[in-house]
Structure 1
Amino acid sequence: MKYKLLGRSGLKVSELCLGTMGFGTESGWGADKESSFAIMEAFGNAGGNFLDTANIYKLGTSEKIIGEFVSSRDRDYWVIATKYSLKDNTTNPNASGNNRKNMMRSVEESLKRLNTDFIDVLYLHIWDDLTPVDEILRGLDDLIRQGKVNYAAISDTPAWIVSKANTLAELMGWSQFIALQVEYSLIQRTPERELLPMAKHYGMTLTPWAPLAGGALTGKYLRGDIGRIKPESNRLNENSARITKEVIAIADKLNVYPSHVALQWTRQQGISSIPIVGATKLSQLEENLKMIDLVLSEEDLRRLDEASKINLGFPGEFFREDGVRLNNFGGFYDKIERR
């Protein structure tokens, strides 16, 4: 596996990130400790070093499993990313949210579960629309200065807030967000309206969650294997089915799995992107690891774009006229190719 720099930092992470939301058997599903260990061992043997978890995944069990696994290995090899924000207990009204009190409490609890002295990347998990952004930034910067966190990142937050935050951090000399985690796939392309251009502008690495749309893009839902998904989900509608059929057609042409096509598409969108691949079975990880050498042709990308394209809304569509942007300077028009 190759390594990439995470955002505007010198941190080297593997080109795929292992999602560990399913480590633990709470809620009646997931991988037990033995299976989770086997998955991480295989990921590490393939050169993977980037692990994604959160304080609430499997009620903290995901972090505990990672902590136990890493404690008997080289801690410095692994880049552990975790998150804070969502409620992980009911002991007090500040056991959730982006506020400093919850941030500090959550980090201390995560450090205990992970059995480590530091977290490599700490994500704000989701915007609470309550906490001032300067409170968040100062808290994260304090954790970094204390050595409890190495880098800050952000997830599931409006683009204008992230933009404001990184600008303020730059002005104040605080640590900036180096990665952006959002749902992004051929079935969920709305981040292209604001979030992806913003991330690219600030040099942030995109870490897409659900790049396979919960398995929809593997074709399993077309085969009737809908599992726990709700019938009204947009992953089961006609649009998703049409997109998935195009993915399968290209996969058949290239003699690869549909998941390979869907994952690689997220890595060829003109922005630094490290998709998060979840696994609760070793076979799932082994299948996904085989995609790292795949490169989609311009024709394949065109077909996928045509099948899944969205309306960018205003001002995105205003800037795009028949595939070009028209810039009017000095009374004449220059046609500039849109990428």
Structure 2
Amino acid sequence: MQSNAPTVPFPAAPASRKRLAVVLLNLGGPDKPESIRPFLVNLFTDPAILRVPGFIRPLLGRLIAYRRTKPATENYAILGGKSPLLELTIAQGEALEAVLNTDGDVEAKCFVAMRYWHPMSDETAAAVKAWGAEEVLLLPLYPQFSTTTTGSSAIAWEKAAKRAGLVAPTTTLCCFHSFPDFSAATARQVREAWDKARAELDPAIPLRVLFSAHGLPETIVEAGDPYQWQVEQTVERVVERLDLPGLDHVVCYQSRVTPQKWISPSTEVELERAAHDKVAVLVVPIAFTAEHSETLVELDVEYREEAEKLGVPGYFRAPAQNSDPGFIAALAALVRHARRQDRPLCSFAGPRQCPNRFGDCSHVLLRNVNTGGRAKVPA
């Protein structure tokens, strides 16, 4: 598993096995308290995140980062002063490598490219080139595509690869929101958490599942971003796999950070409704595939405390996938599937999956990322 630029040459691969670099795209997180503000500056000055005129963005983004530094520092202090996301992503890559390298036709190595903190795309692209990759696959660890996540990361990678002189054929997998293996692996973890919660609850207390995803401003969705639709598709497939007839469940959204109107319902509102209805809740992080501050702090600490204050009769949380064997097997199946596609950009099912009303589907935003065309980037 390689996460940053090597300092020594890599040995040549056997001639019979193609060198495949699987680049895991993720958000990133600060690696020490001093990194928190620059991490936030990188986040809030990204044109995919802060959609204001370019001449305003640097100043406004830094102002938002300044205001968010104190609460973010308090949150990361709970986690020891840093995000666990890099270590967990590296572990996912190591597990994925082990599975892929059982295939006889490929020598796979996983690399990590974080969007807002190290290792970022420039250092990772240099590492992929130094390794001598003959083929590159961009594998987002976001199941659902958004212009703010996979879209931003893929565009950053395209620019970094050009700067590094990396010319290996590249395939971008845009999403896997309804991939059957992913749905099955997720449903198994949710069912285990459900059974555990039910065993601890009074049988007379109902249990509601809150599928909680990171939110977005409504304006981004209204502009054509398919994220909310894809989240809903994920939940539908997972609920089908759970096979719990009459399951009480809802999709909700967390992590609002701006005063704009965000997609709803919010997770906070759903906690209030659960308290009113006198039902316990099982919170499932449906758009996060590794633990980080928004699961370990926001869900496990802040929302738990809020639920207790509101009088919710039970609060439980399903884990993120991390290196769950079923999830890693699903990623390996996605890699194999994407490699069989004769296209530089593919979904979990090959061609575009989003309805036409989503003008910011990856197949519009990124269709030229790997073919030398000009990608659509928010102003």
TM norm. shorter chain > 0.5: no
TM-score (norm 1): 0.27
Ranked by relative contact order (alpha carbons within 8 Å, sequence separation 6 or more), the top structure is 2
TM-score (norm 2): 0.25
